[in-house]
Structure 1
Amino acid sequence: MTRTSSPRTVTLARESEAVYVATNAAGAQLRFGRGEGLLSPVELLLAAIAGCSSVDVDAMTSRRSEPDRFDVTASAQYVTEDGANILEDIRVLFDLAFPEGEEGDAARKRIGAALRASHEKYCTVSRTVEKGVPVALIEAERQGA
């Protein structure tokens, strides 16, 4: 087995109560939190799962034909049990349409294989969620505090 590793980091800054800005190493930013007009952290997780596989499926199908429709819906059951919250039954629905003709036919034929390849090999987000990788919440050490 060949194993490589490269770090990924996102920093988070509080803008106001329950409103945050995430920034990646390239400087791209995303505002989220609790409140009107904002995606919640749970919705961001669903978007990340759907987005990760969307990038894969898009790359594997659109090289054959540009889609007429590429709509993806991620959904889950938000469950609270004994005061603890978790998502269950995460589903990602791909609603894709390609134009009539040879190129569109080639793209349509690739959808199933693209979904399998993304799920089994390429989508880091859903594969990490399914594997159940541990998450550590750590308080930063402060000098002179």
Structure 2
Amino acid sequence: MAKKLWVERNKDGSWDAFSDEGAHLKFGHGKGQFNPGDLMKVALAACAALSSQMTVENSLGEGKGATITVEGDADHKANAYTAFREQVVVDARDAGIRGKDADKLKERVEKHIEKSCTVMHTYEQATPVSMDIKVLTK
């Protein structure tokens, strides 16, 4: 069964997202809040982070991870993103990894992200969205 997600509006104009597993995230258009476009970029970065986590920890130690940044090109007339640029930075300086070992780590991280990142795979293809609107009345 798929995880159930939903959003609810707050009195201050912000929104809360919930999952049936207990996750919670606040978002909106206010200062200090993620907007939906930001959340798309966060999803892409988070997917790369989780996809590469095991490889990075195996090489650098438990609790270590990559820093991932994502930028997007927006077409404001179409109200859509046309491209995302993702940068994955693995700080291996403290582990003493250099040269060919660094190249091998880079290759393993890339392979894991390319294999496992569902969000990236979804963004790379046209993904239909269906919508059902219900207006509840008495």
TM-score class, shorter-chain normalisation, is 0.7 to 0.9
Q: Could you list the runs of 5+ residues in structure 2 that have no partner in the other structure?
A: none
Question: TM-score normalized by structure 1?
Answer: 0.79
Structure 1: unaligned runs, 5 residues or longer: 1-5
Corresponding residue number in structure 2 for 1:55: 50
% identity of equivalent residues:
22
* Larger strand percent: 1
What is the root-mean-square deviation in Å for CA atoms of aligned residues? 2.3
SS at match of 2:74: strand
The 5 A counterparts of 1:33-112 are 33-66=28-61, 70-81=66-77, 84-98=78-92, 99-101=94-96, 104=97, 109-112=104-107
Q: CA 1:73 to 1:41, structure 2 compared with 1: closer, same or farther past 3 Å?
A: same
Matched, 1:12 2:7: yes
Structure 1 position 135 matched with structure 2 position 129 = yes
Q: Which residue of structure 1 aligns with residue 25 of structure 2?
A: 30
SS of aligned partner of 1:78: strand
Pair 33,100 (structure 1): closer, same or farther in 2 beyond 3 Å: same
Number of paired residues?
134
Work out whether residues 62 and 107 of structure 1, in 8 Å CA contact, stay in contact via their aligned partners in 2.
no
Q: 2:69 is aligned with what amino acid?
A: T
Q: Write the distance in 2 (CA, Å) between the matches of 1:141 and 1:45.
A: 27
